Amino acid sequence: MSKKYFGTDGIRGRVGEGVINPEFILKLGWAVGRVFGRTLDDGAVPRVIIGKDTRISGYMFESALEAGLVAAGANVMLIGPMPTPAIAYLTRTFQCTAGIVISASHNPFYDNGIKFFSASGEKLPDEIEHAIEAEIEKPMQMVESAALGKVKRVEDAAGRYIEFCKSTVPTNFSLKGLKVVVDCAHGATYHVAPDVLRELGAEVVAVGADPDGLNINDGVGSTKPQLLSDAVLEHKADIGVAFDGDGDRVLFVDEQGRILDGDALLYIIACDRLRTKGDCSGVVGTLMSNYGFELAMRDMGVPFARAKVGDRYVKEMMQQKGWLLGGESSGHIICSDVTSTGDGVVAALKVFFAVVAGGKKLSELVADLPVYPQVMINVRRERQVDLDADPEIGEAVAATEAELGDQGRVLLRPSGTEPLIRVMVEGRDHSQVEQLASNLAATVERLVR
């Protein structure tokens, strides 16, 4: 059954448009309180923790959610600006019924959204999201005054999360002697990521760490890594690390200013696990993971599988296969042996550990990782076409794959948010890949118009 409000990662949109307004968010908070109240034993009061990133509308939506939850009889804990994975962690450690994040991740300040975590710090199952949507459609009725929820603010949330992050590496681990540039995207990691690295001994140069409510993700962070690359070279740093606005994505820059995406970080972590533990059970990537990365895993003897795009699907496949490592090329990295969701700071520490333990520069750790040229062309779709069943598209894809042989791959997938079909071709030779992608996109365009 399709959902009316929830997407693949909560509810998101432009502030003041659609459902991203105080009235709806108030009702959403009430519905969440009602649904989670029904999951508890008789008489138990649901407890919900709320965190947010640094965008200006977060204050407005925090108040709306708080009022809705209290009206439903739920107790509320407010922790202010904190990374998304910190809310997942604190939901577990405070034994809350649920966690709520007010964030639009890597989007500009004028967007916002609401994401949820279960008591175990994981994304909500579909049945809970359906139940919340069903409750939203009902008239809002508050509980009796004596049963209203209570609200308190958690003062030491940042310190708790910093200590958790540090606990994911050995107690004797040190970054002393490393100069690190940290780009916090003027987002939720601005007051935790630099402190984590400083407390571990690094010399830290912080950029993108002065949020004003409007500058989140504005030319900074993991979606705009050129700033970090320039800063690493300017400060003659050993490493650069960039987070997105809510701190669940991370990218690195090596000492030469070269950008390392999520595939490279997964490769580094997998190699380190093989070196230090003698085993890496398997790695889950996505349909967009580079083919060179897949071949590298194969050569290392590490099982590899592709999930649909989205960290939710990566986590689901990791659970199905019993593997502990997965992620996306965008920088969502999940280390499920230490945390329940994608965590940019934790993933960064795993990479730093590999650098220090291996005694090598970051560039040396990825020297043997092949990166295949990847060309993607967006084709605007004017009519529905079954990409898997259309014979002409099937023939065009088969012909492209035949030319690539076992040295590349083809991917056609519809966009989940726009009327587009994404045509992607990967292979060893860039000019060949460009030509094949152009030819295939032309065929697809002719058939969808």
Q: 2, 57, 103, 105: which one is catalytic?
A: 105
Strand order in the sheet with 98-102: 11-14, 111-117, 98-102, 47-52, 75-81, 151-153
> Tokens 């890496």 identify what position?
280
Give the C-alpha separation, 368 to 295, whole Å.
Answer: 11
CB 188 within 8 A of CB 247: yes
- Other C-beta atoms lying within 10 Å of the C-beta of residue 403: 15
Backbone torsions φ then ψ of 250, nearest 5 degrees? -150, 140
Q: Where are the beta strands (DSSP E) in 287-417?
A: 304-307, 325-327, 333-335, 374-380, 408-414
Alpha helix locations (H) across 105-156?
126-136
- Alpha-carbon distance of 100 to 206, in angstroms, equals 28
Q: Residues 6 or more apart from 190 whose CB is under 8 A from it?
A: 54, 81, 184, 206, 208, 209, 210, 211
Active site residue 105: yes
φ/ψ of residue 406, rounded to 5: -95, 20
Work out whether the CA dihedral 25, 29, 31, 32 comes out positive or negative.
positive
Contact criterion met (CB below 8 Å) for 400 and 438: no
Q: What is the CA radius of gyration of the chain?
A: 23
d(CA 185, CA 55): 11
Active-site residues, by number, are 105
